Amino acid sequence: MANLLLRERGGFTLLDASLTSTPVPAMTVGENWVQRLLHRHPHLNTKYSRKYHYQQALCEDPEKISAWFARVQKTINEYGVLDVDIYNFDETGFQMGVASTS
């Protein structure tokens, strides 16, 4: 993809017939282009992907998500829970029944 973008920046379009008919080798990105790009743009960050579990995918049904939020709202209304008593919780690394800070 980066090579295609580089060719377009050089004035060629992806469908330009001259790319296949020219004896001059096509421009390509260098070996360390990612590192140089990140150095030029310090506001960009790298992210590493995680395994995507099948059970997580099953939970991404919009109807199930809407039903869950409706259930939460019903519970908040039923028990009079105040906004100051609602906290965000990320379950990453959480183990039920384990009380440890390690």
Residue in the structure block whose two tokens are 């059970």:
55
Look at residue 79 and tell me if it is in a domain: yes
Tell me which residue range forms the domain holding 66.
Answer: 54-85
Report the distance separating Cα 61 and Cα 71, nearest Å: 15
Does the residue 97 lie in any domain? Answer: no
Split into its structural domains, the chain has a count of 2
User: Does residue 49 lie within any of the structural domains?
Assistant: no
> What are the tens digits of pLDDT across the range 50-96?
676 777 777 778 888 899 899 999 999 999 999 888 887 766 655 55
What stretches of the chain show up as alpha helix (H) in DSSP?
2-9, 18-21, 33-40, 54-58, 62-79
Note whether 86 and 76 are within 8 A (CB): yes
Q: Are residue 35 and residue 7 in the same domain, yes or no?
A: yes
Q: Are residues 7 and 34 in the same domain?
A: yes
Please give the pLDDT value at position 11.
Answer: 56
Alpha-carbon distance of 7 to 29, in angstroms, equals 10
Determine, yes or no, domain membership for 8.
yes
Q: What percent of the chain has pLDDT over 90?
A: 15
Any domain includes 71: yes
Does residue 45 sit within a domain?
Answer: no
